[in-house]
Amino acid sequence: MKKILCGILFFLFLAGVSEARIVERIVAVVEDEIIMMSELKEFIAANLGEAAEWIPGEKMDAVQVYALDRLIEQKLLQNEVKKRGIEVTQEKVEQGISTIKERFASEEEFQLALQAQGLTEEEFRKNIAEEIAVATLVKREVSDHIRIKDEEIEASYLKNKEIFRVPPQVEISQILIRVGEDRWLAEAEKKGAELLEKLGEGADFASLAREHSDGPTAEAGGTLGLITRRELPPEIGEIVFALEVGEFSDLVVTPGGVHIFRLDARYEERQKELAEVEREIRRTLFARKMRQRYQEWLDALRNKSYVRIMLMELHD
């Protein structure tokens, strides 16, 4: 280890330029691997993209310290993967690449994203393989050992019952007559009045909405789905929640246009049963334990490894 360090420091000394100590220098050592300033800068650029160029000078030290810590963790995990002999099959790598490519509209868009990150396809493939290997390691060492007991779920439910209260809700539909350059308010109100008259004569609300509404859900018969009072503007909430099921409102004028609302269903406030939220609570508790156990395991891994941070030692 000492011979490696001495060799590189001697090389920098022979360069005879103060720039060498600033631009390319050792910032950390992890076991028998050296992290250079150039690698740290590449790591920051890969994670922040163009935003890395806009980091204020006074904040750069903090960014580098944080990024170096993440880079050291990455090296520790990769070293542990090698020690455990974890290998990733080509099939899993291809599956991982396919999953990521699905997020892009085309192969061309995917290639442009690689170029933006300064990655070749081979480097990208290598990164995917490393990520899968690390995920396998973490699963074996951390997540596979986490158990959530039924008693924990019940205790969490009882402690947080207020979170699982469902406020009063309504299902509503609307017919919207927009006001704009091609339609004055008076014209919209006239059309709305005609539709109200048809509704009063027994016309089907959903059919009128499909034919006449300018709202985004017109094709679905104007239905807006389940809504709480807090999700509505106060003046509309007051009108809608005062309706009886099946009743429609008078014309309601807003900046968006002229509306007619119908109350389709009403649901009173209620407390969700444990069975309804058990899976949600289990996921929350698992995520909480996962974060805690992962950090504990990572700290233990770091403590048993040789790590020396030199970023600030050579800062001046």
Cβ atoms 194, 211 nearer than 8 A: no
Q: Are residues 44 and 132 in the same domain?
A: yes
β pairing state of 307-309 and 252-254:
unpaired
Is residue 213 pLDDT above 70, yes or no? Answer: yes
Q: Considering only CA atoms, which of 68, 91, 48 is closest in space to residue 309?
A: 68
Within a domain: residue 299?
no
Contacts 24+ apart (CB under 8 A), 227-230: 227/169, 227/170, 227/171, 227/172, 228/167, 228/168, 228/169, 229/167, 229/168, 230/167
Report which of residues 20 and 171 the model is more confident about: 171
Residue 79 lies in a domain: yes
Structure confidence at residue 107 (pLDDT): 92
Instruction: Give the integer Cα–Cα distance in Å for 249 and 199.
Output: 10
250 vs 248: CA distance, rounded Å: 7
Residues 60, 105 share a domain: yes
Give dist(CA 69, CA 65) in Å, integer.
6
> Of 143, 159, 186, which marks where a domain is finished?
143
Mean pLDDT of 238-254: 95
Considering the domain boundaries, does residue 29 fall inside one?
Answer: yes
| pLDDT tops 90 at residue 216 | yes
Q: Do residues 206 and 222 make contact, with C-beta atoms less than 8 angstroms apart? A: yes
Based on the fold, state whether residues 7 and 138 are members of the same structural domain. yes
Structure tokens given for 135: 């995920």
Does residue 122 share a domain with residue 18?
A: yes
We report the CATH number of the domain holding residue 19 as 1.10.4030.10
Token look-up 């993209």 returns 49
* Average pLDDT of span 13-30: 61
Tell whether 36 and 132 lie within a shared domain: yes
As for how many domains the chain has, the answer is 2
Q: Sorting pLDDT into bands at 50, 70 and 90, what band is 119?
A: confident
Find, among 223, 189, 185, the residue nearest to 204 by Cα: 223
Cα–Cα dist 213/174, whole Å: 8
Could you give the dihedral angle defined by the CA atoms of residues 77, 78, 84 and 90, in that order, rounded to the nearest 10 degrees? 130
pLDDT digits (tens, 9 = 90+) for 51-86: 777 888 778 888 999 999 999 999 999 999 999 999
Q: Are 12 and 103 members of one domain? A: yes
Per-residue confidence at 189, pLDDT binned at 50, 70, 90? very high
Residue with tokens 């048809």: 198
Residues 243 and 135 in one domain: no
Domain co-membership, 200 together with 246: yes
Q: Where are the alpha helices (DSSP H) in the chain?
A: 2-15, 18-23, 37-48, 57-84, 90-101, 107-116, 121-141, 150-159, 185-200, 205-212, 234-241, 274-303
Asked if residue 156 is part of any domain, the answer here is no
**What local confidence, expressed as pLDDT, does residue 165 receive?**
95
> Per the domain annotation, does 258 fall within a domain?
yes
Q: What is the pLDDT of residue 45?
A: 84
User: Residue 180: its pLDDT value, please?
Assistant: 83
Q: What is the CATH number of the domain that holds 188?
A: 3.10.50.40
Q: How much of the chain, in percent, has pLDDT values that exceed 90?
A: 76
Higher pLDDT, 157 or 44: 157
Query: Is there a domain that residue 102 lies in?
Result: yes
pLDDT of residue 204: 96
- The range of the structural domain enclosing residue 252 comes to 168-268
pLDDT confidence of residue 53:
73
Are 102 and 217 in a shared domain?
no
- Round to whole Å and give the CA distance between 46 and 119: 9
Q: Does residue 99 fall inside a structural domain?
A: yes
Q: Tell whether 300 is covered by a domain.
A: no
Give the mean pLDDT of 247-251: 96
Q: Which two tokens stand for residue 85?
A: 């002999």
Checking if the pLDDT of 5 tops 80, the result is no
Q: Is the pLDDT of residue 124 over 60?
A: yes
Using the predicted structure, report yes or no on whether residue 184 has a pLDDT greater than 70.
Answer: yes
Q: Point out the domain boundary residue: 82, 110, 143.
A: 143
Judgement on whether residues 95 and 9 belong to the same structural domain of the protein? yes
* Mean pLDDT of all residues in 223-252: 95
Q: Find the mean pLDDT for residues 31-44.
A: 91
- 136 and 6 in a common domain: yes
- At CA 216, angle to CA 214 and CA 218, rounded to 5? 65
Rounded to an integer, what distance in angstroms lies between the CA atom of residue 294 and that of residue 52? 28
Q: Does residue 288 have a pLDDT over 60?
A: yes
Q: Is the pLDDT of residue 315 over 80?
A: no
The pLDDT score that the predictor gives to residue 314 is 53
Cβ atoms of 188 and 175 closer than 8 Å? no
* One domain, residues 18 and 133: yes
Half-sphere exposure of 257 (CA within 13 A, CB side): 21
